[in-house]
Structure 1
Amino acid sequence: MALDLRIFTEPQQGASYDTQLAVAKATEQLGFSAFFRSDHYLAMGGDGLPGPTDSWTTLAGLARDTDTVRLGTLVSSATFRHPGVLAIQVAQVDQMSGGRVELGLGTGWFAAEHAAYGIPFPEKRFGILTEQLEILTGLWGTPVGETFDFDGTHYTIQDSPALPKPAQEQVPIIVGGGGPRRTPALAARFATEYNQSFPQIEEIGPRIGVIEQALSDAGRAPGSLTQSVALVLAVGADEAEFTRRAAAIGREPAELREHGVAGTVSEAVDRLASLRDQGVQRVYLQVLDLQDLDHLDLVAREVAPQL
């Protein structure tokens, strides 16, 4: 089976809508299956100019400005939006895209971005995430003409018409995280995909085993959850080009080779083939230099066909 390759961006580091659109269009034209972005409001190093862009506002624009590429977040923070609002936003963007949206949702972790924009950041957030997933799937799954109610610890929904509905019968939901028990159980309950973000390479295979056990415990069929990883991308046609791309994102070549999809074309192919052999079905290639569209072209022309 061919490995599914997606492009994953970090626009909080500094990217206008037009820059993101250029990357999304290149992603589509070059044959990658999806354009994903992080959901953050504060740069992690650097000035972040021109400033953050909201992920679902951005994806709404991309829904109209692209044609075929899938669009999503890796991952939205449950602290940012009330679940009823998020359900409306995602359903509307899915309609605007003709059914191309996927939702990655997590607990949130970056306290500083909450402080910077006045967003509450409770110490315990797993229950919030769980209830949001219950509400999102409940609202979207309520038949038209019926209503949805929910009485939880964190949220109460009363007599909701549960509208609008997404274009897709089921919006794919991505859950990630490294917890030993609760996160795998949550993924088995709600998700269509489980993502490992920037894991140690040697831990990827064992973690897939943990998730498969969680599926069995939940009564789901083995292999019914897409297994994905997100890894930094830095590939060159030769060593000099790779070194230049590493320098452009402020990373050391040796470190990139250890932790990412990095090095020469043959090294990138070997890393991705190894991931596939461990049971990975989808890889989100984290592109940090959004001006370097030749990077995407190289991967599409030289790496992807070998997988």
Structure 2
Amino acid sequence: MDLRIFVEPQQGNTYAQQLGVARAAEEGGFDAFFRSDHYARIGGGDPGPGPTDSWVTLGGLALQTTRIRLGTLLTSATFRYPGPLAIAVAQVDEMSGGRVELGLGAGWYEAEHTGYGLPFPSLGERFDRLTEQLDIITGLWTTPAGETFSYQGRHYQLADSPALPKPTQRPRPPVIIGGFGPVRTPRLAATYGDEYNAAFQPLAEAARLFDQTRKACEELGRDPDSLKLSVALTVCCGRDEAELARRAEAAWQPLATLREAGLAGTPSEIVDRIGAYAKIGADRIYLQVLDMDDLDHVALLAAEVLPHV
């Protein structure tokens, strides 16, 4: 089981705080550091310094880390044109020495779009755009050197693109698809994805979504075992109830809620909970760490959870 650290910087965190968590995750032996891609805080409270751009941040982290993989859960297809996004991700992949993964989704949070002047089309159009973006980005990356790439879609058209730069990873960086749609999401994951992510889903629902995605692979003639399956869950680990309560408060959620819907408890309780997700087929778990100043939390997870999974 791979364990990855996942943060939500739009809640009011600086680049320096993200760097601190990324380095703590790398030193602790975690597989990856991932961040959300949002431009506005979700929920109430102090917005802090405001948002940080995900791919600018990951470019900086690429130069200030050495081993840990880096990526997004999930970049929204509404935020960028596919050509420039392919360039940005390929550049960060080169800067990191081939450690980048692209999580790409349709987008869902209307307030960040209206707050920063980004179009927010209907759900159907967002999925149409996501499909075209996946076609284009993977097409640009896998076009042989010296050849050009053209594309005629409803929303995007490319003519004789040089399809540069190429990412360091060949044939391309891994692509992660997430979401809960009953038809289009599993088909997109089966068609383009190297990983399918069911974020913040309880055990039974994650199992259903995994089965749905495996079925989509079979329908397309793809080996379901070639697609990694993952979940993202809020983590709250403590050696005793007092430590747990303190960390739950810093995560803005009641401890009882975290115990039911996330990974909350002592290290041994969290190991058992992770084992339950492994039994339904999860290959990796993204541990959502909400208090980015609590590096002792990351160290505890590294010392007393990671070695047992």
Q: TM-score, normalised by structure 1?
A: 0.98
The answer to whether residue 199 in structure 2 is matched with residue 201 in structure 1 is no
Task: Report the aligned-residue RMSD.
Answer: 0.7
Letter in 2 for 1:46: G
Query: Aligned residue pairs: how many?
Result: 305
Q: Distance in 1 between matches of 2:50 and 2:102?
A: 23
Residue equivalent to 2:8: 10
Residue equivalent to 2:168: 167
Q: Distance in 2 between matches of 1:84 and 1:41?
A: 21
Identity %: 59
The correspondence of residues 119-134 of structure 1 with structure 2, limited to 5 A, is 119-123=118-122, 124-134=125-135
The correspondence of residues 247-266 of structure 1 with structure 2, limited to 5 A, is 247-266=249-268
The correspondence of residues 1-307 of structure 1 with structure 2, limited to 5 A, is 3-44=1-42, 45-123=44-122, 124-169=125-170, 170-307=172-309
| Runs of 4+, deviation exceeding 6 Å | none
Deviations 1:165-187, CA, capped at 9 Å, x for gaps: 00000210000111111111111
- SS of residue in 2 equivalent to 1:208: helix
Deviations 1:36-69, CA, capped at 9 Å, x for gaps: 0000000112222111100000000000010000
Q: Distance in 2 between matches of 1:25 and 1:260?
A: 24
Q: Distance in 1 between matches of 2:20 and 2:65?
A: 10
Deviation at 1:200, TM superposition (A): 2.3
Letter in 1 for 2:67: T
Q: Distance in 2 between matches of 1:131 and 1:46?
A: 36
Letter in 2 for 1:87: A
- SS of residue in 1 equivalent to 2:84: helix
Q: TM-score, normalised by structure 2?
A: 0.97
Deviations 1:219-261, CA, capped at 9 Å, x for gaps: 1113110000000010101111111110112211111000001
Q: Distance in 1 between matches of 2:167 and 2:161?
A: 16
Gaps of 5+ in 1: none
Q: Distance in 2 between matches of 1:132 and 1:306?
A: 39
Q: Distance in 2 between matches of 1:92 and 1:159?
A: 20
Letter in 2 for 1:259: A
- SS of residue in 2 equivalent to 1:159: strand
Q: Distance in 1 between matches of 2:60 and 2:274?
A: 31
Deviation at 1:205, TM superposition (A): 1.4
Deviation at 1:201, TM superposition (A): 2.2
Q: Distance in 2 between matches of 1:235 and 1:86?
A: 36
Q: Distance in 2 between matches of 1:101 and 1:48?
A: 28
